[in-house]
A and B are shown apart, each in its own frame.
Chain A
């Protein structure tokens, strides 16, 4: 029976599937973390230096804007291969889960910077003006008004970012990047073992669903704007 076969295959590869699921989560979360460390200041600077921002700096804004756009328009698969020298330099090798983190961070940073920019942009100008009228400094406005007021939107953005990075990480399977994508490519693509591929796809779907569910739940919990 087909289902019995599937269960057999699942049992045979259980250890590997668990390990690679772990690898996928490892790549995803570590990449997200590093990408946010880089993207947060970038997003803040983009919002603040805009023409109508708190500290307009036209040339800096333009420069960052162009860099972010370029970063976002390079297809991930190309980027993955193109920056292999950099990856080797940082990690020491260009394959495996840890190595995949480098291109993931590079690809995700401009994307996340945009998400952060648009979240911060949503903060009511009136509230910022109120803080200015109280004599708040730029850093106070950033850390006590902009970011806390955009909290919910930032969390929704974070959920979207994790989902996107997860699917990017699967693409790294084509260059032996580790994780569930790697399994799908190796078994499904090169060895025509459709069942394994199916299982990895189902696992990916479950992961994305879980991340989405948990992320939105946390975001909603922090939202005090509508009770």
Chain B
């Protein structure tokens, strides 16, 4: 409140020039990320989110705009100062990117080697971090001997070696199965709580954002579509891109195109009430449930449901009024809602 955000992305633009033309991957991105948050950046593949995360540590130099971390404007730093800043920003990747010819321990101490620590200090820190990620017995193993989840744990340990204040995760769970994904996300959450490290997560999976993020930004076609607290964006996605992401099971809806279809959103309270049963009793009308989903976000229950209403306009108007004003759930109409 009132204080400047920890990470400021300011009017960021990134163009990629090829011989014949220029492709704008990102433009006009403004984002503020507070210290200690887990911030999700979500978008379809090709939306520009990976470019965005690479701009945050200047692996990609923005064409326009800048990144300010703390009080440092990265665009004003020399190459060697920039390398110093990067030592304070950990990063993990979809394909782990471990050094295959080094042991687990030597992978983890690599950032310390770069930062000029002695081998002994590196080994000691590697030992602590291996305890943290639960792989103490793999100290001398090589990455090729580990499973995907274990490799990502090593990568996380490596990213934390220099005690960074920021951890960037680029599709860190996209190559992992659902169970492993959950355990990696739990580890990230634990790290966030224990060390107060700010985590920025790039993903195309809604489930990842729901599971651990407090804030989310939606990137669509290189621009920022929506940003806010996960609950708020989830409860009321304002843009097409947001609806697409939160509402991915849309092929069912497409079949019913042209009929009157609504989406109702529950917050923690109303989902315990038998809303649909009450509605049917009240109006003696046929209501078709096309899709329903309930989730836990930040220990609160949220859910949404897609309903097909009777064709009679009067009756369906009344139902919408009833849902909005009596039951007090969020209702939006999905007339001609088509998803590519």
Report B-chain residues with C-beta under 8 Å of the C-beta of A132: 59, 86
User: Which segment of A7-15, A141-149, A161-169, A189-197 sits at the interface?
Assistant: A141-149
Report B-chain residues with C-beta under 8 Å of the C-beta of A186: none
Q: Which of B76-129 contact A (CB under 8 A)?
A: 80, 82-87, 89-91, 93, 95, 97-102, 110-111, 113-115
Report B-chain residues with C-beta under 8 Å of the C-beta of A144: 110, 113-114
Nearest-neighbor residue (CB-CB) of B82 within chain A = A135
B142 interface contact, C-beta 8 A: yes
Q: Are B91 and A133 in contact (CB under 8 A)?
A: yes
Q: How many angstroms from the CA of A127 to the CA of B102 in the assembled complex?
A: 12
Report A-chain residues with C-beta under 8 Å of the C-beta of B298: none
Report B-chain residues with C-beta under 8 Å of the C-beta of A130: 91, 93, 97-98
Contact with B along A118-133 (1 / 0, CB 8 A): 0000001011011111
Q: Are A151 and B93 in contact (CB under 8 A)?
A: no
A-B pair number, CB within 8 angstroms: 75
Q: How many angstroms from the CA of A148 to the CA of B110 in the assembled complex?
A: 13
Q: Are A133 and B142 in contact (CB under 8 A)?
A: no
Q: How many angstroms from the CA of A200 to the CA of B107 in the assembled complex?
A: 49
Min CB–CB distance B52 → chain A (angstroms): 14
Min CB–CB distance A154 → chain B (angstroms): 11
Contact with A along B44-59 (1 / 0, CB 8 A): 0000000000000101
Q: How many angstroms from the CA of A134 to the CA of B114 in the assembled complex?
A: 8
Known interface pairs A134-B114, A225-B144. Does A151 touch B101 (Cβ–Cβ under 8 Å)?
yes
Main SS of chain B's interface residues?
Answer: mixed
Known interface pairs A225-B144, A227-B142. Does A136 touch B114 (Cβ–Cβ under 8 Å)?
yes
Q: Are A148 and B101 in contact (CB under 8 A)?
A: yes
Q: Are A149 and B114 in contact (CB under 8 A)?
A: no
Nearest-neighbor residue (CB-CB) of A224 within chain B = B142
Min CB–CB distance B94 → chain A (angstroms): 8
Report A-chain residues with C-beta under 8 Å of the C-beta of B115: 135
Q: Are B97 and A127 in contact (CB under 8 A)?
A: yes
- Max chain A CB contacts within 10 Å: which of B85, B98, B99? B99
Q: How many angstroms from the CA of A129 to the CA of B111 in the assembled complex?
A: 13
Choose one: A134, A149, A152; the contact of B86 (CB below 8 Å).
Answer: A134
Q: How many angstroms from the CA of A148 to the CA of B102 in the assembled complex?
A: 9
Report A-chain residues with C-beta under 8 Å of the C-beta of B80: 137
Nearest-neighbor residue (CB-CB) of B94 within chain A = A126
Contact with B along A180-223 (1 / 0, CB 8 A): 00000000000000000000000000000000000000000010
Choose one: B59, B82, B85, B100; the contact of A225 (CB below 8 Å).
Answer: B100
Q: Which A residues have a C-beta under 8 Å from some C-beta of B?
A: 124, 126-127, 129-137, 140, 144-145, 148-149, 151-152, 222, 224-227
Q: Which B residues have a C-beta under 8 Å from some C-beta of A?
A: 57, 59, 80, 82-87, 89-91, 93, 95, 97-102, 110-111, 113-115, 142, 144-145, 162, 168
